[in-house]
Amino acid sequence: MASAGWPLFWWLVGSICIPLSLPWLLFKIFHFKKSHAKLQGKVVVITGASSGLGEALAHVFYKAGCKVILIARRENELARVKNDLLSLHPTIPTHPPVIISMDLSELNDIAGHVKKILAVYNKVDILINNAGISYRGEIISTKVDVDIKVMLINYFGQIALTKALLPSMVELRSGHIVAISSIQGRIALPYRSAYTASKHALQAFCDTLRAEVAGHNIKVTVVSPGYIRTNLSVNAVTGSGQQYGVLDETTAGGYSPQSVAEQILDGVADDKNELLISPASPRIAIFLRTVCPSLYFLVMKKRAKHTTSDKNS
């Protein structure tokens, strides 16, 4: 008797859910197409575009019809990414990628590079500050030079490029600054001091920038992703200044660069102020840090102790 009721139950569920979900689905499809369409032809500068997330961002913005300008230190890798893009066959009109070799740690050279960038299309619509370096080490044994290096690349290089491009955006009363931060820009983890400090600083700078440039019709988006399957941990610097050279288990199990890049594309198209790309546990940690900091501090103490025991085992 009970089993005979199941067809009726599912008929009722379908009768109610399908009519309700269909308009929502149509809205999402229409909104997706409309928001992405406004990106076509936009001039997009992507730093750190020679590998990892930056390379994935180059692909998704190129396939969206943007005029991408790819920036990184390694010109040969930029050329590889450019050739990969040119070999694609998107369904919409695309524009040949432009590559410019630049080292963001050379702050005095940034103004000259910006002149080259602006000379390409006479404007920049979207700047994606993606370049960065990670760090693994203990505060007590980390050289100050390492802190300076990480801050120079992850913070000062980003804001120097932003400041150099900002006047052109103000003049046009249009622009979008995108900062690729990290979950660690929201919460600090043990043995990541230099990295998380640089991301905290970038987060604070962007919050201030967003308020100041709103009157000029300039948008600011801060992206805070969790672990991404890239070589970020392998290329991380240690407290002594050497390369870490290890693919962390958490990094290996992270999001694919492609999926993160696609979510960033959606967030930029929707003019999001913030975009949090993360599983549940970091979101809970952010919540605890805000509403119950004492519990958060206790959790971090235990995490630090556990990490130390792992190193010594």
Would you state the pLDDT for residue 3? 53
Q: How far apart are CA 220 and CA 200, in angstroms?
A: 16
- Percent of the chain with pLDDT strictly greater than 90: 81
Amino acid (1-letter code) at residue 82? K
Cα 291 from chain centre: 26
Residue 56 has pLDDT above 80, yes or no: yes
91 and 210 assigned to the same domain: yes
Q: Among the options 195, 227, 244, 296, which is catalytic?
A: 195
Range 256-262, long-range pairs (CB < 8 A, 24+ positions)? 256/56, 256/228, 256/229, 257/52, 257/53, 257/55, 257/56, 257/228, 257/229, 257/230, 258/56, 258/59, 258/60, 260/53, 260/56, 260/225, 260/228, 261/53, 261/56, 261/57, 261/59, 261/60, 262/60
123 and 212 assigned to the same domain: yes
Residue 33 has pLDDT above 80, yes or no: no
216 and 146 assigned to the same domain: yes
94 and 237 assigned to the same domain: yes
301 and 263 assigned to the same domain: no
Would you state the pLDDT for residue 309? 42
Domain assignment present for 313: yes
Read off the pLDDT of residues 130-155 as tens digits, 9 standing for 90 and up: 999 999 999 999 999 999 999 999 99
308 and 212 assigned to the same domain: no
Domains of the chain: total: 2
Tokens of 58: 């180059």
165 and 311 assigned to the same domain: no
Domain assignment present for 43: yes
Would you state the pLDDT for residue 269? 96
130 and 205 assigned to the same domain: yes
Read off the pLDDT of residues 197-251 as tens digits, 9 standing for 90 and up: 999 999 999 999 999 999 999 999 999 999 999 999 999 999 999 999 999 988 9
79 and 219 assigned to the same domain: yes
Cα 141 from chain centre: 29
Q: Is 195 labeled as catalytic in the residue annotation?
A: yes
Total residues belonging to the chain = 313
Q: How far apart are CA 195 and CA 131, in angstroms?
A: 13
245 and 301 assigned to the same domain: no
The pTM is what?
0.86
Residue 286 has pLDDT above 60, yes or no: yes
Average predicted confidence (pLDDT) for the chain: 90
